[in-house]
Structure 1
Amino acid sequence: MNVKILNINYIVNGLLTEIHTKMFYKHNENKIQDIYFEFTLGKNNIKSQKNNSMEYAIKSLQKSLPSNINMACCQSCNYGNFCPYGDNENEIFCLKDIILKDEQDVCEFFVNNIDCIQDKRKSLLGSCKDYKPISQGNYYTYNDWE
């Protein structure tokens, strides 16, 4: 197993906190597999389930967290949108400067803005000062974060 130490943002008891988190994975033929995360907070050792996709490994980590801790990353952000035409592993797009009403708006954006898509590409665990948790129903995000 390979191990990478990541600094991941979490919201712990309402406060933004960066926690050193270990990402374990196997590397086979240009693909990472068996991804899982682990960290210790106080007396709690938190470990997610293994997944072969970064997207689902991150979701598994969120499901492993106690109720007072939430991830604060691009994947869990109101502005983090997947590409409706497919995306690469560990890829999401920050559309914080665009108002989206529905899936059709997202599709139109990706079709009509090919030239600026590269600038909006982010990693799933990325974060910035504009982070806002996904608000189910209050703001449209093309993202299946739970």
Structure 2
Amino acid sequence: MEYPVIQLSAGDCSAKYVEGWRYAEWWLSRGGDVVADSSANWGEEKGKGFGDRLAEERGARQAGAAAGFGFFVDADGFARRTDDRMDDATVSVDLSSNRVSLVDPGGFVSYEADFYLSLADLEASGVPVLPV
């Protein structure tokens, strides 16, 4: 998946903030976790830039998932969209843990899987995506 690079002007924030933001861009471009913590050695401004960029990414992913965008691998090994109709199950997405749960009509979780925002993310994780 390509992550948008958002340009920050020097007038908008400190150089340390921009450094943290740019590090988060690098982190995300390599599949880094959106709930990662910054280093305690970075200082407040750099840590805030890193955290703000990750928070923005979490929001973008939540918006995508809320709109029905996202994928997971079902129990049979097939990639499924999070908005696919499931027989007697509801798909629940938890973006804080990047997990998908299939919940039966009784409210019990019948299956859990990793959540991927795109097929490219799924493939980057090492799961082969085959054309149908």
More helix per residue: 2
More strand per residue: 1
Larger Rg: 2
- Greater relative CO, 1 or 2 (CA 8 Å, sep 6+): 1
**Same fold at TM > 0.5:** no
TM-score, length of structure 2 as denominator length: 0.30
TM-score, length of structure 1 as denominator length: 0.28
